[in-house]
Structure 1
């Protein structure tokens, strides 16, 4: 019997396996950020341990940094101390760290790929659930907890129980105006927030193969929202073209050697997956969440569902609570829902292609009065590229500030937070109660829909706007 891509990567990194025990996996890359990691370093000190491979570890400031002003002081003392501890701990243990002002700084899941640090067949971990992003390269990328961070720092290994495997095949092709964000939202709506629990998901099919690397990262990023700790896409020519010439990518003869290995990283034709899911890419349309978890999603053309339409009592109760929190009435057309805030950014949609998509919609138009827009690139490299390409000019003309990079309103653990009752069209990955600020209401959408909503002042797709920015 053949092996899946996940099985091949897992097997090649297993340094110890024993019946009834978790496997011990070697870790190729460990990314750190400010939140949660101080406790792990305290554990190292208490036990008298050092960092096993500081050269395979990288820190970055992303969660807590202000984004309106690059060097603005972090106001909250606890957050300021966490940022200071990241720099201090990394310096003490010989780990490179990107701080504010470093041109390579950004969200961990954004800078790992753009620097060429993440490559096919690697194992990658970070104390953040959306580490799944980097599975787009055919890597096994996992979010880990604080105690696991300490274990990896000390040993460069991680004990894990092997998950089952799931294949998601996306048939057909995505229509114009339908993005990778719409694909993954539609999948989560189909299988639920626990549909991939206990599995490593591999995405296949013509619609997936046609995606750019940045779009593939969006898909893998939100795999965790379906309950899985890892999503993967086999590397191909699109992957190799993205990696070629990046700062940490192999070069010269090493490139050819690695390329030969990367070409073997595919699920065998006779590999058997524990679970199979098929999604019809031809039928997908722009999606929007209406509730308080990513599975509560519908096409933008639809209406707010009636909780009574859910046969399952738990789903019905969840829908009732969600509509109460979101202050929505069943039967309301989603396009009629007014918004007063927009967030474009995050590790899901803060890359240059996402900013280009937003700029294409905003160019020649103005943001509707009363709509507050947070436009936050995923890294300072992305921001610099947006300036070089003239995107910042389009944003400025539309009434939008291009901020500096950071997690910002995705998690709202810094000073970027919505006010109670504010309703946002957001490109982040989660619409939980209070995710973007206490009492804030989040509709997760693609960058193009977020930008169109900013112009319309309500949930809208780009096709809803005429040339003057009015809604048709």
Structure 2
């Protein structure tokens, strides 16, 4: 089925070849007004001086700047709202319920938090959307996942996400779109909902989705790109909510009151434990070898070398606030990077004095960008360093060193681990 794309979002990594394909064929961009761009993957977070020290990063930045200028596309440049794509585009009010949104990035499913059907596409598809504003796609099966119960103290959206992936597996969602609901989701703010939808793809699903409600509408209201006729827009948004008697291909119920602070121990997000558990046996030997861990070992207390708080999963204001609440008046004992998801968040955090809390604690307060989530900028692990990270992927080599070890967790757990220099249960500080 050929479907109209309501929102096409771009960054510097998957767009250059797409623009090149169009130039070679002399094709104009069909709807530049439905296309937005940002620089996030390669941009350094410590020094913004141009040209960037990394020649490849400078070339990619320059190429994106030239392409958006030639095409009349709105571009959130450094100094003008720059940040991580999946943080910037929602905070600007670009995503509206009922749309189809695509981006050449696998974590595009973040936008499902707004009642948007959103997923990542490849470079060839990026060029196709630029040329036609449409995309051919097959209908996914839909799995409804209900999170019910009351969350324990110290348990966040990141924890319920890791718990879900552990339960359903990294391939459990293949062929599915996940629709999240239940009383826990109803109470989650938009930032928590974005964290959950962001990692739907890590569970194998094409997209994650939450029905829009009052929380959604309030978040979009007043944003720069929010609809002008807002009340009229809300009427339509309410009409697309799933019917109470909707039938799903599969339904999963999760008792969220059983969830504790979670942390990954292995080389994919399914290999996850609660902070109080011990490392299981029965996994391939190379997993234990790579991670430098043994079955039967407690996950809590394992020393870490670096803590990274940021990314499109957990680089929003509420994430920084929860980390700061733990670090206030305390000191970190290992290298700790705090990287806001956007310039807007950085500015808001600084107005609240969060930067001072982080700096006083001994952490580094950086400029926005993808940073240590992936190995495309100077923020990387070295050798066999072990990180406590609020990002979304813990594959071998993901954070820059072919031997670097990554443990995924919430900003709360990361902050507690920064204080002690080892994987730590944050509840002891609450």
Which TM-score applies when normalising by structure 2? 0.98
Residues 227-306 of structure 1: matches in 2 within 5 Å? 227-251=204-228, 254-306=229-281
| Per-residue CA distance 1:1-45 (angstroms, 9 max, x = gap) | xxxxxxxxxxxxxxxxxxxxxx11111111110102111011001
Structure 2 equivalent of residue 218 of structure 1: 195
Q: From 148, 152, 163, give the equivalent of 1:175.
A: 152
Report the counterpart of residue 93 of structure 1 in structure 2.
Answer: 71
Task: Give yes or no for contact 2:153–2:427 (8 Å, CA) kept in 1.
Answer: no
Assess if the C-alpha contact under 8 Å between 1:25 and 1:157 holds in 2: yes
Q: Secondary structure at the match of 1:459?
A: coil
Say whether the 8 Å CA contact 1:123–1:139 is kept in structure 2: yes
With 395-404 and 183-192 compared, the bigger mean Cα shift is at 395-404
Q: Deviations over 1:380-414 (max 9, x none)?
A: 00000000011111111101121010000111211
Cα distance in 1 between the residues matched to 2:295 and 2:92: 46
Map Cα deviations across residues 69-109 of structure 1 (whole Å, 9 max, x no partner): 2336422322221111111111112212222222x111111
Deviations 1:326-375 (A, max 9, x none): 0001111111200010000000000000000110010000001xx11111
In 2, the alpha carbon distance for the partners of 1:52 and 1:411 equals 32
Match of residue 445 from structure 1: 409
Counterpart for residue 461 of structure 1: 425
Moved over 3 A (4+): none
Matched residue of 1:334: which SS? coil
User: Which runs of 5 or more residues in structure 2 are unaligned?
Assistant: none
Deviations 1:152-188 (A, max 9, x none): 0000011111111110111112111100000010000
**CA-CA distance at 1:465 after TM superposition:** 4.2
Q: Please state whether the residue corresponding to 1:71 is helix, strand or coil.
A: coil
- Which residue number in structure 1 is paired with residue 394 of structure 2? 431
State the Cα distance separating 1:117 from its structure 2 match.
0.4
Partner of 2:292: 327
The superposition leaves residues 206-239 of structure 1 with CA deviations (integer Å, 9 ceiling, x where unpaired) of: 0111101000000000000011121000011111
Q: CA deviation at 1:66?
A: 0.4
Could you tell me how far apart the structure 2 residues matched to 1:230 and 1:450 are?
A: 27
Which range is displaced more, 65-74 or 214-223?
Answer: 65-74
Match of 2:339 among 359, 370, 376: 376
Would the aligned equivalents of 1:70 and 1:101 in 2 still touch at CA under 8 Å? no
TM (normalized to structure 1)? Answer: 0.89
Specify the SS of the correspondent of 1:263.
Answer: helix
Choose the corresponding residue for 2:25, options 47, 64, 67: 47
Cα gap change, 1:221 to 1:259, in 2 (>3 Å): same
Aligned residues: 429
2:364 paired residue number: 401
- Equivalent residue, structure 2, for 1:163: 140
